[in-house]
Structure 1
């Protein structure tokens, strides 16, 4: 017997492979400083957990509508629309088991085999995986380093659009590089989408995970609401990564397809978790503010220590919980030209575990600098200081 050939095109989130390597090293009695996964080591707020438990006690443990319970769709429409300055009808909201299913169902809905979808690279690896798995051509667009952080190479995006291009995936407040679009960059992407009649997946997982400034959605720009799907997740803002709750905000014809796909794939999102989502949106927001305060302090410590390491440098991001330092000269100091070797040596020499640029899409021609990603969401500040201190000592002594 054989398996389906399309499985050869299925990628994965390779950060989990880094986690396995770190766990194996830790099982041998070594201290691990986990900067690899974008998980959050801050518990879900008690009032959200209580709402979930109350829903279980009240019998909210059976099937519910595939598109989500009406009460949650109403709360999401109000919150997402209000935060972005747009009108969102509950009928445009389709609840899902986290943010990842929005990527998969968007690709299934707007792309036929043989068509092309543009996606950010470096970027969340599931974009590339799902485009290729469903028979499309994944066309990467790159970011260029500037004095103000990374910027989309708009000339490359323009040149990459063909008559087979049907969509562009756009991740403002970006994982892994924490890039944030300027208004001009956001408008340029919108203009290209309108000019070439493209669908847009706006991945807004980190829309409210920011320390300075205000977030804006490309869906709020003229001509974009009818062609944009917003990806929303409870995982980051409410520290609910394991609860698996998110949604898509989509034009009516797309929302209808998403609802049907939900029924085919999962039947529905866990009923009692949806009631926890309502409490998260409409209950006290103090836990969100408190968590951002903790993450801001971790960000500042991480950037301070990284920039003190010989051969490493990073801009201080205004959002997400990642930094993406350039480690090119640090690699030269320790005598390796391979990012994978650098990460393995760092783990064994210092216990610091991190992902590299290679975990976020295939490198594109012309890349001559080397980067790693440090996630500070799952590691306490004291461990950040200890781990990065050890990393700095290792590089400096090389």
Structure 2
């Protein structure tokens, strides 16, 4: 017997492969500093846990509506709409088991086999994986380095759009590179989407994980709300990664399709977890502010040390919890040509575990710089300083 051929097109979230290597090194009795996975080592707030436990005690452990329980859809509509300056109705909200299913179901709703979807590269690897798994053609667009970080290559996007292009995936406040669009860049993406009648998936997982300034959604631009699906997740803002709770905010016709897909795939999102989501949205926001203060402190310490490592260079990001330093000169000094070998030796020599650019999509032609990703969400300040200090000593030696 044979397995389905489409499995050959299925990728994965490759950061988990790095996590396995780190775990194996730890199991051998070695110290590991975990900069590889974007998990959060800050507990979910007590009032959220209390709401979840109370819902279980109250018997909210059975099936519930596929698109989500009405009180959560209403709370999400109010919160998401207010923070983005747009009008969102409960019927536009479809609750899901985290943010990841929004990617798959968006593609199922708008893309036919053989159609093209533009996606950021480097970017969250599930974009590329799901486009190809579902029979589409994944068309990457790149970022260009700037003094402030990275900027989307708008001209590359423009030249990549064909009559067969159906959608663009847009991740403002980006994983892995922490890039944030300028107003002009956001409007350029919107203009291209409107001009070519494209659907847009706006991945806003880190919309509120920011340290300075305010976030802006592409849906606030006239003409975009009716063609855009927002990916929203509780994972990052509320430290609820394991609870698996998120939603799509979509035009009514798409929301109805997403709801039907929910019913086909998992029936519904866990009932009692949805009540925890209501508590997260409507309860005290002090834990969110405290977590941002903690992450800001970690960011500042990490950036300070990284920029003292010979051959490393990184801009200070205003959002997310990732650094994406250019390590080209450091690799050359130490005689490395492959960033994967550099990362493996760094783990074994210093205990610092991190992902590389290659974990976030296939390299594009013409790429001649080498990058790594350091996630500081799952490692305490003391270990950040100790781990990156050890890495600095090894690289600078």
Q: State the Cα RMSD in Å.
A: 0.3
CA deviation after TM superposition for structure 1 residue 148, in Å = 1.9
Hey, which bits of structure 1, 4+ residues long, moved more than 2 A? Answer: none
Cα separation, 2, equivalents of 1:28 and 1:93: 47
SS of the aligned residue for 1:88 comes to coil
1:217 corresponds to: 217
1:138 corresponds to: 138
2:71 corresponds to: 71
Cα separation, 2, equivalents of 1:5 and 1:136: 14
2:355 corresponds to: 355
Query: TM-score under structure 2 normalisation?
Result: 1.00
SS of the aligned residue for 1:236 comes to helix
Cα separation, 2, equivalents of 1:80 and 1:251: 14
Q: Does 1:321 align with 2:321?
A: yes
Deviation readout 1:314-348 (Å, 9 max, x if unpaired): 00000000000000011112211101000000000
Cα separation, 1, equivalents of 2:134 and 2:235: 26
Cα separation, 1, equivalents of 2:15 and 2:146: 26
Cα separation, 2, equivalents of 1:156 and 1:264: 37
Cα separation, 2, equivalents of 1:317 and 1:396: 24
CA deviation after TM superposition for structure 1 residue 166, in Å = 0.2
Deviation readout 1:233-256 (Å, 9 max, x if unpaired): 000000000000000000000000
CA deviation after TM superposition for structure 1 residue 149, in Å = 1.4
2:245 corresponds to: 245
SS of the aligned residue for 1:106 comes to helix
Deviation readout 1:372-393 (Å, 9 max, x if unpaired): 0000000000000000000000
Cα separation, 2, equivalents of 1:153 and 1:118: 12
1:340 corresponds to: 340
Cα separation, 1, equivalents of 2:379 and 2:333: 27
CA deviation after TM superposition for structure 1 residue 210, in Å = 0.1
Cα separation, 1, equivalents of 2:301 and 2:94: 38
1:312 corresponds to: 312
Cα separation, 2, equivalents of 1:238 and 1:41: 12
Deviation readout 1:34-74 (Å, 9 max, x if unpaired): 00000000000000000000000000000000000000000
Cα separation, 2, equivalents of 1:108 and 1:10: 15
Deviation readout 1:263-306 (Å, 9 max, x if unpaired): 00000000000000000000000000000000000000000000
CA deviation after TM superposition for structure 1 residue 15, in Å = 0.3
1:119 corresponds to: 119
Cα separation, 2, equivalents of 1:146 and 1:207: 22
Q: Does 1:303 align with 2:303?
A: yes
Cα separation, 2, equivalents of 1:92 and 1:220: 15
CA deviation after TM superposition for structure 1 residue 23, in Å = 0.4
Query: TM-score under structure 1 normalisation?
Result: 1.00
SS of the aligned residue for 1:358 comes to helix
SS of the aligned residue for 2:225 comes to coil
Q: Could you list the runs of 5+ residues in structure 2 that have no partner in the other structure? A: none
2:187 corresponds to: 187
SS of the aligned residue for 1:94 comes to strand
Cα separation, 2, equivalents of 1:4 and 1:384: 44
Q: Could you list the runs of 5+ residues in structure 1 that have no partner in the other structure? A: none
SS of the aligned residue for 1:140 comes to strand
- The 5-angstrom pairing of residues 158-237 of structure 1 reads 158-237=158-237
SS of the aligned residue for 1:201 comes to strand
Cα separation, 2, equivalents of 1:146 and 1:282: 39
Cα separation, 2, equivalents of 1:192 and 1:312: 35
SS of the aligned residue for 1:150 comes to strand
Cα separation, 1, equivalents of 2:333 and 2:29: 28
